[in-house]
């Protein structure tokens, strides 16, 4: 009887060990080899990207058989890297996707990180920039995209301003606050959920011209998650699994802003903790906002922006917006 009990105990231990080996400690079913995938950010890590880092650290990617590397753009823009499949996925903006498709870049938006445009033109209050007309005689610091001057032009003309009277400087990754304090620039295109929060924490008063409030056609999706047409057509399972994890990541960030902010900081310790946590608290309420679920995109929003660009002579032809985005993988 005693030997039978020992044999039974050893048998149960063996079963537990075998079962444990079939699912590794981080959720990879059957211990299968993970498929390596890269997503390139649009910029340096910030709270627009929190859901991606949550999906990585909470093993949502691993649960669907993926090992995802999150990188910053190297050797090209996110759109170029994704179009050429040097990165399977990327973070972009509706305006950049629109321009890319005009150049026949086969990129497609898979999800809207935010439902409403939280970007706009920010300036220190003492610069006296209250309306787009006030851009005249000022220095704008941007990143060198043709859409910047085009947007400035359309906004200024609405107020009787002349974009040719704006000095446009490519400041790239130069810190907006440092450049403004030094007088290198007078205003820049910034996100309210990041630069706006930082200004409040630093006690700096900003004037902010919100694009979405200036014109409903400018209330477009920024940022968005992108892939290329080849992945959608020839490897839809990869796209499906990747987006399954991403959706879970952002849903977690919506429900748990504190922990989500901590995860972002663990992955980007160079960021200011107070800024990240304050921004995360704000943006977690804006990821989904009035949409039925996170990530959903409306054709109306894509059409409005494309029509606005065309009607303002900023593009020579309209893109087929039905090919520029999809909700299929949400």
Q: What is the pTM of this model?
A: 0.86
Question: How does residue 172 score in pLDDT terms, banded at 50, 70 and 90?
Answer: confident
CA 251 from chain centre, in angstroms, equals: 15
61 neighbors 275 (Cβ within 8 angstroms): no
Check whether 74 has a pLDDT greater than 80.
Answer: yes
Given a cut of 80, whether residue 171 has pLDDT beyond it is: yes
**Within the chain, how many helices (H) and strands (E) appear?**
14, 10
| Dist CA 3 CA 17 (whole Å) | 21
Q: How confident is the model at residue 165 (pLDDT cuts 50, 70, 90)?
A: very high
Strands 187-191 and 119-124: antiparallel
Q: Where are the domain boundaries for CATH 3.40.190.10 in the chain? A: 35-116+221-323, 119-218
Q: Is 298 helix (H, G, I), strand (E, B) or coil?
A: coil
Q: What is the pLDDT of residues 111-163, one digit of tens each?
A: 999 999 999 999 999 999 999 999 999 999 998 877 899 899 989 999 999 99
Average pLDDT over residues 197-201: 97
Q: Using one digit for the tens of pLDDT, what is the confidence trace for 220-278? A: 999 999 999 999 999 999 999 999 999 999 999 999 999 999 999 999 999 999 999 99
Mean pLDDT is lowest, of 4-18, 47-61, 79-93, for 4-18
Give the architecture-level CATH label for domain 119-218: 3-Layer(aba) Sandwich (3.40)
Res 9 pLDDT > 50: no
35-116+221-323 homologous superfamily: Periplasmic binding protein-like II (3.40.190.10)
Contacts of 298 (CB under 8 A, 6+ apart): none
148-180 as b/e, with b when 16 or more CB fall inside 10 Å?
Answer: bbbbbbbbbeeeebebeebebbebeebebbebb
108: which strand partners? 227
User: At 253, is the secondary structure helix, strand, or coil?
Assistant: helix
Dihedral pair phi/psi, residue 33, rounded to 5° = -70, 135
């Amino acid at each position: 009887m005693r030997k039978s009990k020992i044999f039974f105990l050893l048998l149960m231990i063996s079963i537990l060990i075998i079962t444990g080996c079939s699912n590794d400690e981080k959720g990879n079913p059957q211990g299968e080899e993970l498929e390596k995938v890269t997503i390139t950010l649009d910029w340096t890590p910030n709270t627009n990207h929190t859901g991606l880092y949550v999906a990585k650290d909470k093993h949502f990617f691993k649960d669907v058989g993926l090992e995802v590397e999150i990188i910053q753009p190297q050797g090209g823009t996110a759109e170029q890297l994704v179009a050429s499949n040097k990165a399977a996925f990327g973070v972009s903006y509706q305006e950049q996707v629109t321009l890319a498709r005009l150049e026949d870049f086969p990129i497609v938006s898979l999800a809207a990180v935010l439902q409403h445009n939280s970007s706009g033109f920010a300036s220190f209050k003492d610069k006296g920039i209250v309306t787009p007309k006030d851009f005249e005689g000022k220095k704008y610091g941007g990143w060198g995209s043709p859409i910047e001057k085009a947007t400035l032009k359309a906004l200024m003309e609405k107020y009787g301003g002349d974009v040719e009277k704006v000095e446009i400087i490519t400041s790239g990754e130069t810190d907006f606050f440092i450049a403004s304090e030094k007088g290198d620039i007078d205003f820049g295109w910034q996100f309210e959920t990041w630069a706006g929060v930082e200004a409040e924490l630093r006690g700096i008063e900003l004037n902010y011209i919100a694009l979405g409030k200036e014109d409903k056609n400018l209330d477009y999706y920024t940022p968005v998650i992108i892939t290329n047409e080849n992945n959608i057509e020839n490897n839809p399972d990869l796209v499906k699994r990747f987006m399954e994890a991403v959706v879970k990541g952002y849903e977690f960030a919506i429900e748990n802003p504190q922990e989500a902010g901590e995860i972002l900081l663990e992955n980007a310790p160079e960021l200011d903790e107070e800024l990240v946590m304050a921004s995360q608290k704000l943006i977690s309420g804006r990821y989904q906002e009035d949409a039925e679920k996170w990530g959903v995109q409306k054709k109306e929003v894509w059409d409005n922006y494309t029509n606005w660009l065309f009607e303002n002579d900023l593009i020579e032809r309209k893109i087929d917006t039905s090919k520029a985005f999809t909700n299929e993988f949400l």
